[in-house]
Copies of this chain bind each other. A is one copy, B any other.
Amino acid sequence: MSQKVRVGVYGASGYAGQDLIEILKDHPCVELVFATSNTYAGDFVPDTDLRYIKSEEARLDIVDAVFLALPHKASAPVAKLAVEANLKVIDLSADLRLDTADSYKTWYGIDHPHPEMLPVPYGIPELNRDKINGVQVVAVPGCYPTATLLGLYPLLRVEGLSLESPIFIDAKSGISGAGRTPTEKTHFVETYGNIVPYSAERGHRHVGEIEQEVNKFMNITEPIVFTPHLVPIDRGLMASIYVTLGYAFTSDKIHSLYANVYADEPLVTLMPLGTQAQFKGVVKTNRCHISITPVNDRYVHITSVIDNLRKGASSQAVQCFNLMYGFPETEALL
Tell me the A residues contacting B by CB distance below 8 Å.
15, 165-166, 168, 170, 172, 175-176, 180, 182-184, 186-198, 200-202, 223, 225, 227, 229, 231-236, 238, 240, 242, 244, 276-280, 283-284, 291, 293-296, 299, 301, 303
| A204, chain B: closest CB distance, angstroms | 12
User: Lowest 7 CB-CB distances: which A-B pairs, in order?
Assistant: A182-B182, A170-B170, A200-B293, A175-B188, A192-B234, A197-B276, A168-B242
Q: How far is the CB of A277 from chain B (nearest CB, A)?
A: 8
Extra A-B contacts (14), CB below 8 Å, given A188-B234, A195-B278, A200-B303: A166-B244, A170-B240, A170-B242, A172-B172, A175-B189, A180-B189, A182-B182, A182-B186, A192-B234, A193-B279, A197-B277, A197-B278, A225-B242, A232-B233
With A240-B197, A240-B227, A278-B195 as contacts: A182 and B184 at CB distance below 8 Å: yes
Please give, as numbers and ranges, the residues of chain B lying within 8 Å of A234 by CB-CB distance. Answer: 188-189, 192-193
Q: Closest CB-CB distance, A207 to chain B, in whole Å?
A: 10
Given contacts A186-B182, A186-B188, contact A276 B196 (CB under 8 A): yes
| A305 CB → nearest B CB, Å | 8
Q: How far is the CB of A146 from chain B (nearest CB, A)?
A: 17
- Report whether A236 and B195 are in contact in the complex, using a CB–CB cutoff of 8 Å: yes
Which of B183, B184, B193, B244 contacts A283 (CB under 8 A)? B193
A196 near B295 (CB under 8 angstroms)?
no
Question: Is B195 touching A231 in the complex (CB atoms < 8 A)?
Answer: yes
Taken together as a complex, chains A and B put the C-alpha atoms of A299 and B280 apart, in Å, by 33
